[in-house]
Amino acid sequence: MKAKHQRLMLALVALAAIVGAGLLAASALKDEAAYFYAPADVEAKGVEPGRAIRLGGMVVKGSLKRAADGVTIRFDVTDGKATVPATFSGIAPDLFKEGSGVVAEGAFDNQGTFVATNLLAKHDERYMPRELEGMQYNETTHQLKVKP
Amino acid sequence: MHRFANPARFLKIARPLTLWLFWPGLMLILIGAVCGLLVTPADYLQGQTVRILYIHVPAAWLGMGGWTGIALAALMQLVWRHPLAAIAGRAIAAPGALFTAICLATGSIWGRPTWGTWWEWDGRMTSMLVLLFLYLGYIALANASARDGQGGVSSVTAIFGLVGAVNIPIINRSVVWWNSLHQGPSITMRGSTIETALLWPLGLTLLGFSLWFGAIVLMRMRAILAQNKVEARMQRLARG
């Protein structure tokens, strides 16, 4: 074996070992490095009231209601598997709306309602002109169609 | 590749190539940026804010592409002992770090009006910040272990460049593996979720910035080679 090939083998083995270690670490971090809890995670693991967490998901359509004081809003957060009621007092970001993504910082109260102290809007990976809004996006064919 | 181990032969090609990358690259960046600012329609959700995309995405691409280049150069340096690979690694580091910083800055400016925050410690942002620190570490290590008359990076620095490449797939997958505030990938093997009307200037700025990056790297490599030549001549003079 030539010295060049020895070095190549050494570099490749070392690289494979490092990448393997990196991927193992990353997958072990899967839960710890998650930026937020989804409602299904909350249901599965149980988060004790008062513990500061982030809750992320979609704002359920039709669930957003403004309280009589004008600054408090109530809405439901869902990930398709579980739904959690949430409340927030303050100024929500512009992109926060029904049917859109949200990441809320706060804690659960004793009744199981998530009391948010801060709201962040999470948008998805789709970008399109205003004219195309309301058209339906097909995940498999990547085609836009007018909603029936 | 060893055909270009001879600096004279490399320079013969690098000199005209620099111009061919620099000017078309600059043209594409300008056309892409102007079209992205004025011609394309606003996004249905984000409105005008979306236009920062045309800078943010190329910056992210080159920040990550730069480190991939450093890792490939390191492999060529360590395995094949290619004399220009060490110089290429050093030449890539500074522009790579700059584009990573631009990506972080534009992302922060974009995050405030859309997400409602300048900075959050989610997987994508944190791993990208780690990339910036890796670049700074690489540059510091290259400077600290440099030897006179050899403009390239040392073996230790090359090994660091190779090890740091672990972060590149992590950045890429960060939005898939972990819940994150940053949205998932828009452009994948299966197509793009950015509508064509908004997408095409991104193609121009992506290509333009990439060509420009190549031109900057070639310029820096030529500067390092020239520096080596000066150094060698000074040493000959000193010896009398």
- Whether A96 is in a domain gets the answer yes
- Whether B2 is in a domain gets the answer no
- Whether B156 is in a domain gets the answer yes
Q: Any binding-site annotation on A142?
A: no
Q: Is B145 helix (H, G, I), strand (E, B) or coil?
A: coil
Q: Would you place residue A116 in the very low, low, confident or very high pLDDT band (cuts 50, 70, 90)?
A: very high
Kindly state whether residues A6 and A51 are assigned to the same domain: no
- Whether B91 is in a domain gets the answer yes
Interface of A with B in 27-86 (CB under 8 A): 27, 29-30, 33-38, 56
- Please give the Cα distance from B227 to B211 (Å, whole number): 24
Instruction: Select the residue from B39, B48, B49, B79 to test the A interface by mutation, using most A Cβ atoms within 10 A.
Output: B79
pLDDT digits (tens, 9 = 90+) for B127-144: 999 999 999 999 999 999
User: Model ipTM?
Assistant: 0.80
Neighbours of A118 (CB within 10 A): 15
The mean pLDDT value for A116-145 works out to: 74
- Whether A29 is in a domain gets the answer yes
What pLDDT is attached to residue A94?
Answer: 83
Question: Does residue A20 carry a pLDDT above 60?
Answer: yes
Mean pLDDT is highest, among A69-78, B91-100, B155-164, B192-201, for: B91-100
Kindly state whether residues A51 and A82 are assigned to the same domain: yes
The mean pLDDT value for A61-74 works out to: 88
**Which of B44, B165, B190 lies closest to A128 in CB terms?**
B44
Burial (CB count within 10 angstroms: exposed 0-12, middle 13-18, buried 19+), residue B63: buried
- Please give the Cα distance from A108 to A104 (Å, whole number): 11
What pLDDT is attached to residue A148?
Answer: 47
Lowest mean pLDDT among A91-100, A116-125, B11-20, B163-172: A91-100
**Contact predicate B148/B125, CB 8 Å:** no
Kindly state whether residues A29 and A54 are assigned to the same domain: no
What pLDDT is attached to residue B30?
Answer: 97
- Whether B109 is in a domain gets the answer yes
**Contact predicate A36/A54, CB 8 Å:** yes
**Which of B41, B79, B173 lies closest to A129 in CB terms?**
B41
The mean pLDDT value for B71-83 works out to: 91
Kindly state whether residues A56 and A102 are assigned to the same domain: yes
What pLDDT is attached to residue A4?
Answer: 83
- Whether B7 is in a domain gets the answer no
What pLDDT is attached to residue A136?
Answer: 59
Q: Would you place residue A1 in the very low, low, confident or very high pLDDT band (cuts 50, 70, 90)?
A: low
- Whether A101 is in a domain gets the answer yes
**Which of B79, B117, B163 lies closest to A8 in CB terms?**
B79
Q: Would you place residue B165 in the very low, low, confident or very high pLDDT band (cuts 50, 70, 90)?
A: very high
- Whether A145 is in a domain gets the answer no
Kindly state whether residues A106 and A77 are assigned to the same domain: yes
Neighbours of A57 (CB within 10 A): 28
- Please give the Cα distance from A104 to A96 (Å, whole number): 11
**CB contact (8 A) between residue A126 and residue B190:** no
Does any CB of chain A come closer than 8 Å to the CB of residue B180?
yes
CATH of the domain at A94: 2.40.50.140
pLDDT digits (tens, 9 = 90+) for B21-58: 999 999 999 999 999 999 999 888 888 899 999 999 99
- Whether A1 is in a domain gets the answer yes
pLDDT digits (tens, 9 = 90+) for A70-113: 889 999 999 988 999 999 998 888 888 888 899 999 999 998 89
Q: Any binding-site annotation on A127?
A: yes
Chain B nearest C-alpha distance from A119 (Å): 8
- Whether A13 is in a domain gets the answer yes
**Residue given tokens 């055909």 in the structure block:** B3
**Which of B40, B165, B183 lies closest to A124 in CB terms?**
B183
What pLDDT is attached to residue B110?
Answer: 94
- Whether B1 is in a domain gets the answer no
- Whether B119 is in a domain gets the answer yes
Q: Which amino acid is at A77?
A: V
- Whether B190 is in a domain gets the answer no
Kindly state whether residues A48 and A83 are assigned to the same domain: yes
- Measured CA distances, B102 to A144, B126, B198 (Å): 33, 15, 21
Kindly state whether residues A46 and A117 are assigned to the same domain: yes
- Domain encompassing residue A50: 39-122
The mean pLDDT value for B75-95 works out to: 92
Kindly state whether residues A13 and A67 are assigned to the same domain: no
Interface of B with A in 115-134 (CB under 8 A): 115-117, 120-123
Kindly state whether residues A69 and A98 are assigned to the same domain: yes
Sign of dihedral through CA atoms B209, B219, B68, B93?
negative
Q: Would you place residue B16 in the very low, low, confident or very high pLDDT band (cuts 50, 70, 90)?
A: very high
DSSP label of B47? B
Number of structural domains chain B divides into: 1
**Contact predicate A67/A74, CB 8 Å:** yes
Interface of B with A in 200-239 (CB under 8 A): none
Q: Would you place residue A29 in the very low, low, confident or very high pLDDT band (cuts 50, 70, 90)?
A: confident
**CB contact (8 A) between residue B194 and residue A128:** yes
Q: Would you place residue B145 in the very low, low, confident or very high pLDDT band (cuts 50, 70, 90)?
A: confident
Sign of dihedral through CA atoms B43, B49, B52, B53?
negative
What pLDDT is attached to residue B216?
Answer: 97
Question: Does residue B69 carry a pLDDT above 60?
Answer: yes
What pLDDT is attached to residue B160?
Answer: 94
What pLDDT is attached to residue A135?
Answer: 59
Kindly state whether residues A109 and A59 are assigned to the same domain: yes
Kindly state whether residues A43 and A29 are assigned to the same domain: no
Kindly state whether residues A18 and A54 are assigned to the same domain: no
Question: Does residue A134 carry a pLDDT above 70?
Answer: no
Roughly how many angstroms between the first and final C-alpha of chain B, as a whole number? 36
How confident is the prediction for chain B on average, in pLDDT? 92
The mean pLDDT value for A130-147 works out to: 61
Question: Does residue A10 carry a pLDDT above 80?
Answer: yes
Q: Which residues contact B38 (CB under 8 A, 6 or more apart)?
A: none
Number of structural domains chain A divides into: 2
- Domain encompassing residue B169: 16-39+49-182+197-228
DSSP label of B43? B
